[in-house]
Structure 1
Amino acid sequence: MPLPFLTADRAFDASAEDVALPFDDHDSWRRPYRPGPWRVAAAATLLLLASFVLLAAMIIGVAGAPSGATVCLVLAAALIAAALRLLRVGAWVSRHGVRRVAFFRTTTVAWSGTSAVRTVQQPVKWMGLPRTVQGQALVVVRQSGETLPPLATDHNADFLGREEAFERATDAVEAWADEYRLG
């Protein structure tokens, strides 16, 4: 089974360093970077917890309590859905625009609706928690002047401790913006 999110960084292989937009199909939505280790670890932990809850559902079901087994199955399904959604969180790009996927909400802006996509120094949330630190954020400014919440920061679950990966990802998103914003 192909896992396209694992090959998102192929543009930065030694053989393809000069390619800004490495994908053949620019119409499909793609994340221009790999999910970070913190995000993958959190999703793996949720899936591990879901496996224990499924085991509990099986034991409860065999013991003869179908209502308890149903509750465990619903809880396991919610944990699996949360893990999958957590892996989808981030910035996604295509020929049509840029998409900011949050855990509960997705915002899509067409390239023609943006006036700027840039990296700025500003206070950013550390790992999505209320605590803020000084850092860098990739922001999208709409034609109306409204600035969206950051697409990515150097202190989120994808880039904490991976400054080079953050720079490559922001360069890739800015390259997509330069390619399709005016064209």
Structure 2
Amino acid sequence: MPLPFLTADRTFEAADESALPYDDRERWRRPYRPGPWRVGVAALVLLVASFVLFAAVAIALADSVSSAVAVLVTALVVIAAALRMLRMGVWVSGRGLRHVGFLVTRTVPWSRVVSVRTAQQPVRWLGLPRTVQGQALALVRKDRPAEDTPPLLTTHTLDFLSRPAAFDRAADTVEAWAAECGRGHGRG
């Protein structure tokens, strides 16, 4: 069963003449693949969910239906969390840029984007409070100061940890989307 949110479109990785090789630019797409750390953590969470589902079946066979339903709901929450973790990241379309977090999704139309650029700065390591020196893809918006906007991508997230070339490719692609789609809104 194909999982379209798990893979990026292959044409982003191919050296192509245009930065945006799609006819249907209104479809939301992630311009990079989820990193091996993100996929590995999600796989471990799904493994835990399988054990919880097995426990729900065992509890149901022991004639405790209400407890089995509670454990089943717990397993479904764990599965939903693993799938949401796989969806996290930056998504682009002709309409704007979408930053999908674990609990919150923010969408910014291209008309409000001033620029998207890579900067060397302290970044959070794996989303924890500890910061390290790294690169970040920063979004500058018309309606907000740059300090209030968290970075879109960093070199120290689950997607790009120990993969600087993948970060550079993803950052270049998001910047190309911003440059191309931003032109359609009267900016150059």
**TM range, smaller chain:** over 0.9
Shift of residue 46, structure 1, vs aligned partner = 0.8
Per-residue CA deviation, residues 77-102 of structure 1 (Å, 9 max, x unaligned), is 11001001000110000001101111
Q: Which residue does the alignment assign to 1:178?
A: 179
The within-5 A match list for 1:14-93 is 16-93=15-92
Question: CA separation in 2, counterparts of 1:10 and 1:46?
Answer: 30
Instruction: Indicate conservation of the 8 Å contact 2:8/2:31, yes or no.
Output: no
Shift of residue 67, structure 1, vs aligned partner = 1.8
Letter paired with 1:152:
L
The within-5 A match list for 1:55-134 is 55-134=54-133
Q: Which residue does the alignment assign to 1:3?
A: 3
Question: CA separation in 1, counterparts of 2:10 and 2:88?
Answer: 17
Instruction: Indicate conservation of the 8 Å contact 1:37/1:158, yes or no.
Output: yes
Per-residue CA deviation, residues 90-131 of structure 1 (Å, 9 max, x unaligned), is 000000110111101011111110111001111111111111
Shift of residue 138, structure 1, vs aligned partner = 0.5
Instruction: Indicate conservation of the 8 Å contact 1:112/1:182, yes or no.
Output: no
Question: CA separation in 1, counterparts of 2:8 and 2:85?
Answer: 18
Paired residue secondary structure (1:181): helix
**Structure 1: stretches of 5+ with no match in the other structure:** none
Question: CA separation in 1, counterparts of 2:75 and 2:173?
Answer: 36
Letter paired with 1:83:
A
Letter paired with 1:3:
L
Identity of aligned residues (%): 57
Question: CA separation in 1, counterparts of 2:18 and 2:49?
Answer: 40
Paired residue secondary structure (1:6): coil
TM score, norm. by length of structure 2: 0.91
TM score, norm. by length of structure 1: 0.94
State the superposition RMSD in angstroms: 1.3
